[in-house]
A = this chain, B = another copy of it.
Amino acid sequence: MHKGFVLWFTGLSGAGKSTLADALVLEFRQRGYKVELLDGDEVRTNLSKGLGFSKEDRDTNIRRIGYVARLLARNGAIAITAAISPYTAIRDENRAATLADGAGFIEVYAEASLDALVARDVKGLYKKALAGEIAYFTGVSDPYEAPENPEIRCKTDTDTPEQSVAQILAYLTANGWIG
């Protein structure tokens, strides 16, 4: 049985976290791995109803995602998280707790420039945020602390999702996380 690990995506809204995570779930399932996707919305529904978007509430939400992810990983599963997770300190806290549990923690930064995301604006959220219609919108009216040394950095504003998925799989294979 392989060692479980957490594949922790971080990045701005629209940077491709969920797209990459969804593709990897299919890929891992096809290869016979146990895999679970914890995205921001699902976890908010099941674990964090009532929490808002203040720093304290965001931190609590990300800590809960981290707790569930490492429970899964320490039982041999691959846990993929795809929440914005804007604060370095909380990501690092989850990393430390996961490693202490004997599971792996691989941070993937879905990196796209704010300009590219605003230009793309798939859901129209940046337009609203820039118009001041959304409070606490990460990258516009709320901070985003980019990871300095993520295990994997995907340039999602220039690379295709297929290229990024291939990059992630290559890293995981080269480092012995998948066979």
Please classify the interface of chain A as helix (H, G, I), strand (E, B), loop, or mixed, using the class held by over half of its residues. helix
In residues 128-157 of chain A, which contact B (Cβ within 8 Å)?
none
In residues 55-111 of chain A, which contact B (Cβ within 8 Å)?
60, 63-64, 67-68, 71-72, 74-77
Q: How far is the CA of A72 from the CA of B4 in the complex (A)?
A: 12
Residue A47 at the chain B interface, CB threshold 8 Å: yes
The closest CB in chain B to the CB of A33 belongs to B75
Q: Which residues from B are CB-within-8-Å of A77?
A: 75-77
Q: How far is the CA of A75 from the CA of B36 in the complex (A)?
A: 8
Residue A49 at the chain B interface, CB threshold 8 Å: yes
Q: How many residues of chain A get a CB closer than 8 Å to chain B's CBs?
A: 16
Q: How far is the CA of A39 from the CA of B18 in the complex (A)?
A: 31
The closest CB in chain B to the CB of A76 belongs to B34
Residue A46 at the chain B interface, CB threshold 8 Å: yes
Q: How far is the CA of A68 from the CA of B43 in the complex (A)?
A: 10
